[in-house]
Amino acid sequence: MATFCIHCINNSTPARRHCVITKVSPTSIDNQGNLLKVYW
């Protein structure tokens, strides 16, 4: 069973976001069971 987190990166274009899904360690999971990393 794999654990995933979503990495969102703002593109050079305004209001454009590029998102990719990467595997993370279970220890990185938050108290809601998900890890969401957002980069602006």
For the segment 1-40, what is each residue's pLDDT rounded down to a tens digit?
Answer: 455 555 555 555 555 554 555 555 545 555 555 555 544 3
Q: What is the pTM of this model?
A: 0.20
pLDDT at 26: 47
CA–CA gap between residue 28 and residue 39 (Å, rounded):
17
CA–CA gap between residue 9 and residue 20 (Å, rounded):
9
Work out whether the CA dihedral 32, 20, 37, 25 comes out positive or negative: positive
DSSP 28: G
